[in-house]
């Protein structure tokens, strides 16, 4: 690839060149046939625009708020594990890039850098992503550490009672490097000669009994708002509001858990309608362009989270690469808003996009 990348997708190839195969496959891969992995991206391409003309777009403002915190654009850092596999500075570089981009980073509990290291690296609004382990006290300690270190919300991942079958990781015998947050709490030593060591660790450690009533337990041990990440249906969206979550992330775990789940953008509207404005709804999965961000907002998301693009930027060019990824998406979003006749985020409405379902319906 000649010169600097001109879009987020080009960072993926730079990351592939920069990383050992095991690590690149870990970040880029999905579950089983990888149908959902492809579909997360492709589904965005089937949504088209209905732009408005002759609107004053001399000033574009795409800033927004998430749980009351102002961010420069409706694009946040999704939680993803083990950033030191991508770059020696790991989540410290990612956190600094997020702070420089004036957005919120969700730190993974499976991060290479600790809750405390990331908190002290720079001043910014941060959330903490939580897995619940068989030893519930581990989760309680992680939540208390996050709260003590100034994290502003807990993002509970609810779609991983077991790890999805990621066949590239099985072939590569994917390792488990040191997980800073779990040191002294959970052993990452696993005897698994047959395949992914990571899968063996996760399936030995994760609490398969986690259920709806445990949201009450989590609320009882923290004052922080709780978002749940991994909702794909109307039924679960309704239950989530009933148990008192502060927000919902429509997510299929980057297509890394259950293959043949729908692309997140195709079920976003179902979740938004079910919630009925009671709590904000966010989306991750497949966002690669500013046009994708606009489409998600038009279908009811308050903001999107990006995972792989952040890791690819980090692998290719460190902190600068992550900043560049955010700047590219912001620039594309600004252009999309201007060409669609939307000077502000609140001007983006459902009537600005047409989904595949509507196209089929209009032909009947």
Just list the catalytic residues. 253
Rounded to whole angstroms, the maximal C-alpha distance in the chain is 65
- Quick one: tokens of 248? 């919902």
126 touches 151 (CB < 8 A):
yes
- Quick one: tokens of 201? 């660790």
Residues facing residue 70 across a β-bridge: 65
If we measure between CA atoms, which residue out of 78, 128, 121 comes closest to residue 103?
78
Pairing of strands 247-250, 75-77: unpaired
Euclidean distance between CA atoms 331 and 336, whole angstroms? 9
Spell out the alpha helix ranges (H) of the chain.
Answer: 8-18, 21-28, 35-45, 90-100, 115-121, 136-148, 167-172, 197-205, 213-220, 234-242, 264-275, 290-298, 308-340, 356-363
Euclidean distance between CA atoms 115 and 148, whole angstroms? 10
């Amino acid at each position: 690839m000649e010169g600097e990348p001109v879009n987020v997708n080009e960072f993926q190839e730079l990351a592939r060149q920069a990383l050992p195969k095991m690590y690149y496959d870990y970040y880029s891969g999905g579950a089983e046939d990888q149908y959902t992995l492809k579909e997360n991206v492709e589904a965005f391409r089937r949504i088209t625009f209905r732009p408005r003309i002759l609107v004053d777009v001399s000033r574009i403002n795409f800033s927004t708020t998430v749980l009351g915190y102002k961010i420069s654009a409706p694009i946040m850092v999704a939680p993803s594990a083990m950033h030191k596999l991508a770059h020696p500075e790991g989540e410290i570089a990612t956190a600094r890039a997020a702070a420089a981009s004036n957005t919120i980073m969700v730190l993974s509990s499976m991060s290479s850098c600790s809750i405390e290291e990331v908190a002290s690296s720079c001043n910014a609004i941060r959330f903490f992503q939580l897995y619940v382990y068989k030893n519930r006290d581990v989760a309680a300690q992680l939540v208390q550490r996050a709260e003590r270190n100034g994290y502003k919300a807990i993002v509970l991942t609810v779609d991983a009672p077991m790890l999805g079958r990621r066949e590239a990781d099985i072939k590569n015998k994917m390792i488990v490097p040191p997980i800073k947050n779990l040191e002294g709490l959970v052993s990452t030593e696993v005897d698994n000669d047959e395949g992914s060591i990571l899968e063996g660790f996760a399936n030995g450690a994760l609490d398969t009994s986690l259920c709806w009533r445990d949201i009450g337990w989590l609320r009882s041990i923290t004052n922080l708002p709780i978002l749940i990440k991994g909702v794909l249906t109307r039924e679960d969206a309704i239950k989530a509001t009933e148990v008192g979550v502060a927000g919902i992330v429509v997510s299929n775990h980057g297509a890394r858990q259950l293959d043949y789940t729908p692309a997140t953008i195709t079920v976003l509207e179902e979740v938004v309608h079910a919630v009925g404005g009671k709590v904000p709804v966010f989306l991750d999965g497949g966002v690669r362009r500013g046009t994708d961000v606009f489409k998600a907002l038009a279908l009811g998301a308050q903001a999107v989270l990006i995972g792989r693009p952040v890791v690819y930027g980090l692998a290719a060019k460190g902190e600068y690469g992550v900043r560049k990824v955010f700047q590219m998406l912001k620039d594309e979003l600004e252009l999309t808003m201007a060409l669609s006749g939307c000077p502000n985020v609140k001007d983006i409405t459902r009537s600005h996009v047409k989904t595949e379902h509507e196209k089929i319906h209009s032909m009947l």
